[in-house]
Structure 1
């Protein structure tokens, strides 16, 4: 940020949504009646302590067994009203499945029975822990650590298979992880939909209602989706592949949100026919979540894709083959291949051959024709059956058959058309994701480097072809290099990219995707984010607003994609200086995140922090501080200490502490953020540069100018090179260097920085943007110091007028402009005008300028004292001036960052006051006071 503030507010990536819950049927399950058993009640020898889980038909309690052995157990009981034949069969099946197994990674069964009312229950080992995906992310387990846990899961599933049991519902919530005896241990639970491969688990029939899933769609194998009874252990191998995919990428191969928004037939088609992207492809395409996913795996965002690419891709995709004959034969074989990978040995999984890929492609595209043939056969058979029945009532039945057949044909055609349309939409969405990924990788810095190198190479080649000798070539190249140094290659590349890529893309989206609004919105969002990264906020806002309008219309107000666009729009309003609009959007998005995602979701916590940063900038410190503290605590708790969002919150709290005058605490926060940003994001990442800038900002606030200078010079050098001259962050650094040089008394060196910042901001941000007004205010202040009052006057008047109009009378920035203009009027000896500017702001300045900002209150009091002294004609006037100046001098004794020069200026003002007072009213001792303050000011009395 500028000289009087820090870069404490930066744009953030959207985080992935929470994992979706289970789906069992298109229709909602019947509501369960209240469970009578609860904490304090008893079931046999077990005393219930608390409820720890609940499924579709059962409730799990933590209970205490008192005899014959004292221990804590998990007691599962059928819900009241759910004891149908189907549910009782599933319940009994789970109990018997668990009883057959004895493995350290599977929960053991201890006992079984029925309550007094006849509802069955069973008692099993209590396995404290949390779902494997949540545990891995919360504890930031590396990919190697995740693979070690995954091997345990495979071994547990293999044990079940040796007991002729197929789990059929392997997913993160059915695998609990905890640290036991210093070792991470995974426990596989919930065999409620398990299937026996040889012997019956129970003599009771396991009923499956019409169109009901056995399993969870995201983890379901193609043969499960077909409803086939020919299910074998390779079904679990497929689900293990999905689990591994999620542990590596943070998401399932098929989005739970998309599956649940599709019809029943479409869900089955996706599972059976659609090939998901490889894990490495999914990682590289999800740019919005890449930093989060990488941080949760202690990996660099730029490297995590390459870690997964290759052997891990092959292992996952082999386990998830549509054709089960091409999968690993057993869970043990899958585990062994993972072990080979960890040991650095060659894995058995290999990418599919080109011929096999071609056969799969042909087979996938014949599905529609095959479906049509199947429908025709079914209709012929149906017609034959009805013809036989027509012997009883031929005419009536023939009409009914024909009507039914016609309806069936129409329905089937509609189903096929819908499936084809959905497939086309899916393909378009994949293309949109790919194009968004490509846009995110457009880097003007690298393009500028390439442009510079290419122009130099072409010049050298043209000189060679022209026959120039070595001396002439060297001279020409040196001249070129000297001239080219005056051109910012990053700026040139950005202009070129905008004209050749971004603008044509924006126009093409509207024209080519009119019938695919969701795809158009995805691309507009990506373009807006790229423009935002370029610092081109006007273009970004227009595209983002279009994406938001489309997503609201097509997806709804609370859809995650809509919230993504809403949140980004708030950021654009913020950085564009439209603070009131930003506040309205931030509050709207925060309310929706809290309601839709919950208070502990990373997106919600980030929204809290962004609102806090904005409120601080709007001059609402009390409200802002609580939001920022809540965000920091939430990010530490949910995302960990080194997540980029946590580091942003640490930086923001450093800013708050600095403004409160707690410099030591602020410095600790700033330096922690800087050190971790350098390690996690790299030394030239924009967020790293924010932290680098803020360490310098803190040092200059303490008047440690020589220490601050290298931080600000390094920030400016990197920003000029990587972001270009016109980027808002670069302009902040230019502004800061001007301020630093002025504070060091190097006014002639400072002026070009101030003017450059003001000129470019006026051109790129507009005349009323807060940053433009900062530059206007700062240049005016410098010109006052340099004695060029006529040049300073219009700048300071304009800055104050526009700040009053855009920010309000009481905003801290408006107060700063009033102080500067009041100081100018004092210097011009226009004392009455100075009082007219300064007196109205004194009460607000006393409220706002405390702690680390006390020097600004000193300025108000100093200028008020000088103005009153200049107008004083009696003792009352001199006393009013004396009161302000003595208070200013007292504040300077304790004000953070106050310099000797500040104290000398105030002492001189007191000396001048008492000299004037002595002249007006001699013999009152004012001359002695004048001499005393003159000595303290370091100024000798003229003789």
Structure 2
């Protein structure tokens, strides 16, 4: 899991003891497309199914086998073999959490015919019992409703399969037609795909609208608002024409469009459109909780940027309630986003104690479901900041360290966010009185910054100040003086005397002078700050 030739023995030993190894699927996704496809081909598979396979039971088995925690590793080679054997026979493996959903899924996969027959038998018995109880009319109504829902589910499943197959064919053929698929950018691929969707005359109009809606969402997530708006407008026009103004899919498209307008700060257009979408979604004959939750989230974000914090909090809490309670946590990725949004809002309002539980839940989901990703790192970083503010220094330090490791795995150790996580870890150690540990972290951050920015960069100033303070607390006043004087030299070179960073350096030097017994210098520096 630590394949980095050129590292010294000491560095390899440190990684084994300190760094979290990448999961198998993560290692595959971090490779170049050509490398990953070659590995998939060698295993007589395609890339996405191989990643999915590596992300399930096999992932849990491997991570259990190489865990640094002896209590979490397999007790014996036999136990390891038994789990591999269970994997091949689609039986539950000991490395996974043995909850009902997991065990039921394994049973159904092994006995799919029996599961279907049992389901049909139970349904028949349930209907028979209801009729036997004298509620035949209601039973017939329920049966009709169940039949309609089953038909809708089958239709949705068939539509999803059709759309997935179309998308695979679409982008595969589009890439080939481009003449140079290996050099195509994401934007070029999406634009060619959008044109092909528009020009495919045999496609059902509602299927085309759904694909346009999906492409609009992808464009939006890539900050390509003009293309996103065009796709969603086309989907909206088709849905209104074929389904009427009051259909839930029309509300979905209006909600998407409102979110795009809000992101472009077209407030006067965004708010009425989102309110109209909400009224349609809540009044539709067939309600879609996902659509309603998404519109509440778009409204919450709109109110947030307008500094209407009470309304933003209310809207985001409504969305969270739908996802957490009414939808039963069925979409954990969307649930994590909802939790994170509320946590960050409370942090912005300096309500750190209220932010912490939201961020803790979001971090748990993202660590478990996303692994090493930017969203995971940001959530861990925000959680560490909240814990720092409420005095939970041990938890804060652990989450700063975890955030750094994830940032480093995704973006590299010299990434700016990774360095800020290290700065946070040093502050947490300082506040907890763990000055020696703070110094070690500060030295590590300083070495990375010197490699990235050079030894005379403005980027070193805050790092040097933090290290000087830690050295002062350990009693090494001479070393502290050297660090702070170096920080002051850089501040004088790059910053005006009234800047915040220059003031921080002067304040730290005044504190150090007081520790040294140089009270006159301390007084002069404090007076200069005033």
The TM-score with structure 1 as length reference comes to 0.30
User: Over alpha carbons, which structure has the higher Rg?
Assistant: 1
Q: Please state which structure has a larger fraction of its residues in strand.
A: 1
Q: Which has the higher helix share?
A: 2
TM-score (norm 2): 0.49
Q: Which has the bigger relative contact order, CA under 8 A and spacing at least 6?
A: 1
